[in-house]
Amino acid sequence: MRREKNTILIVLLAALVILALAAFAAACGGDEEATTTTAGGTETTAAGTETTAAPPSGEPIKIGAPLPLTGAYAADGQHMEMGLEMAVADLNAAGGLLGRPVELVTFDIQELLPETVAASKDYLIEKEGVDFVVEGYGGYGPDFEAFGAQSDVPFVHGSGSVRAAEMVSGDPETFGNMFQVFPVEAEYGKRAWEGMIQFEDQYTYPNNKIAILHGDLEWDLNYTAAVAAEAEAAGWEVVMNETFPYGTTDWGSILTQIRSLEPAAIVCSVLSVADISSFVKQFMEDPTPSLLDISYMVVFTETQEAVGESLTGVMGYVTSFVPPSPENDAWKARFEEMFGMPVPLTTPPSTYDSVMIWVEAVKAVGDPTKYAEIADHMRANPYTGLLGVYDFNNPEQTVQAGPDFPIAYGQYMGGGELAFFGTDEFVLPQYIEPAWEAK
């Protein structure tokens, strides 16, 4: 009887302690609001405390990623991988996908050779059994032949290739699982022309001549063809339109031609740091009064470091500019904390968004292996991500450029900084200003 009384007394005392602690906590945080879930999967209260979602369990859902992790495109490939790693980390911190952990499986496609891309399909689909594939870019066609013609697993990539878009529209039954998260090449060329001629309200161009140089990759050819078409439509004369092989580092003969023509604008598209850096440095030894566009390579820190401050004023397009907003700024801060560097102006936002587009579809369908239903959902439901609105509801299943998905165009300002057309003030390069007449 005494033991029972002692037990009851202990229980009562414990209850009183718990009530007292609860009252103390309420007094300290009486204004605390309900918890909200952040993009990273943690719950944050107004008092600043965080709790993590229940950890995922069960068989992992695998995401496959054929990426150029070594070779000429390794810098891009590593950036692609960062976006994927962050997406997987966020998903798992938020409890996984459908309560299951998400796992990233990569395959190095090196120099984007067709046989290497085909091998990535055999490894990722056949051996690893991934339920989704994300690729930054992989050869502008061979990836579609490997992952579209031989698989129905949803596949998202960022090549922005008109050839790939035409493959989907021409054979939707075979390639209906393939989606592109960037507009095609010509859209970037159109944006480049807009960015290059923006000074016309302030200065008189020396002439209406443009020189165009490009490597022999399909992207280079289509990008510069669009610039040429826009220039000719505006009444400009294309005085040079020359293809050169990758690996060109001696630009003497080409620059001799350019200097004799003195065009008001030059576009040089070659997706190689070594090639483009040598061109810019040799051009700057005796520059003509010409606006200079070097396409995508203006964003690379390797280009900026190789050329130095002589790159100031040079322009080019930007595939992955995350516009400022509270949500986007928080994402960029988390990226920098995770990787110890600011978000590159390359591929991390697009590969991150690619995963989240698929995640929304999987949640809606409820099963990551119902590939056709997932593809249908991705096609029918636009997704708002870091770069804009991804709307695949078109025959090409390709993001369309426009107000909801703007293409960024940048100008190098020195010190590793870029200005962006439409939001910042561009400047005439120092070597041009003396040759221009103010209106």
Q: Which residues of 351-363 are buried (b: 16+ CB within 10 A; e: fewer)?
A: bbbbbbbbbebbe
Its pTM stands at 0.84
Burial label, 188 (beta-carbon count in 10 A; 0-12, 13-18, 19+): buried
Q: Which amino acid is at 83?
A: G
Mark whether 190 and 164 lie in a shared domain: no
Mark whether 431 and 282 lie in a shared domain: yes
Mark whether 202 and 274 lie in a shared domain: yes
Distance CA 91, CA 102 (A): 7
Mark whether 99 and 214 lie in a shared domain: no
Q: Are strands 209-214 and 389-390 parallel, antiparallel or unpaired?
A: unpaired
Mark whether 312 and 327 lie in a shared domain: no
| CB-CB contact of 157 with 397 (8 Å) | no
Domain residues for the domain of 91 are: 61-182+323-390
Note the pLDDT of residue 52.
Answer: 62
| CB-CB contact of 217 with 226 (8 Å) | no
231 part of a folded domain? yes
404 part of a folded domain? no
Alpha helix (H) residue ranges in 323-383? 326-339, 348-365, 371-380
Mark whether 277 and 376 lie in a shared domain: no
Strands of 279-323 (E only): list them: 291-293, 315-318
Phi/psi at 383 (nearest 5 deg)? -125, 130
Mark whether 300 and 427 lie in a shared domain: yes
140 part of a folded domain? yes
Distance CA 13, CA 23 (A): 15
Mark whether 284 and 422 lie in a shared domain: yes
**Domain total of the chain:** 2
Task: Retrieve residue 58's tokens.
Answer: 């069960």
Query: What does the angle CA 210 – CA 215 – CA 219 come to, to the nearest 5 degrees?
Result: 95
Distance CA 386, CA 169 (A): 26
Mark whether 433 and 382 lie in a shared domain: no
Distance CA 295, CA 189 (A): 9
- Which of the 8 DSSP states describes residue 246? T
5: number of Cβ within 10 Å: 9
Give, for all 439 residues of the chain, the pLDDT tens digit.
Answer: 333 333 333 333 333 333 333 333 333 333 333 222 233 333 322 222 234 688 999 999 999 999 999 988 888 899 999 999 999 999 999 999 999 999 999 999 998 899 999 999 999 999 999 999 999 887 667 888 889 999 999 999 988 889 989 999 999 999 999 999 999 999 999 999 999 988 888 788 999 999 999 999 888 999 999 999 999 999 999 999 999 999 999 999 999 999 999 999 999 999 899 999 999 999 999 999 999 999 999 999 999 999 999 999 999 999 889 999 999 999 999 999 999 999 999 999 999 999 999 999 999 999 999 999 999 999 999 999 999 999 999 999 999 999 999 999 999 999 999 999 888 999 999 888 765 454 4
402 part of a folded domain? no
Mark whether 164 and 72 lie in a shared domain: yes
Q: Which amino acid is at 265?
A: A
| CB-CB contact of 121 with 139 (8 Å) | no
Task: Retrieve residue 68's tokens.
Answer: 């150029």
Q: Are strands 155-157 and 132-135 parallel, antiparallel or unpaired?
A: parallel
257 part of a folded domain? yes
401 part of a folded domain? no
Beta bridge partners of 36: 44
Q: Which residue is it, tokens 């943690």?
A: 42
For the chain, the residue count is 439
Q: Which amino acid is at 349?
A: P
CA-CA-CA-CA torsion for 87, 91, 94, 95, nearest 10 degrees? Answer: -160
Packing angle, helices 371-380 and 348-365, rounded to 10: 120
236 part of a folded domain? yes
Mark whether 115 and 198 lie in a shared domain: no
Mark whether 303 and 369 lie in a shared domain: no
CATH code of the domain covering residue 70: 3.40.50.2300
Task: Retrieve residue 232's tokens.
Answer: 């000719």
72 part of a folded domain? yes
End-to-end Cα distance, the chain: 105
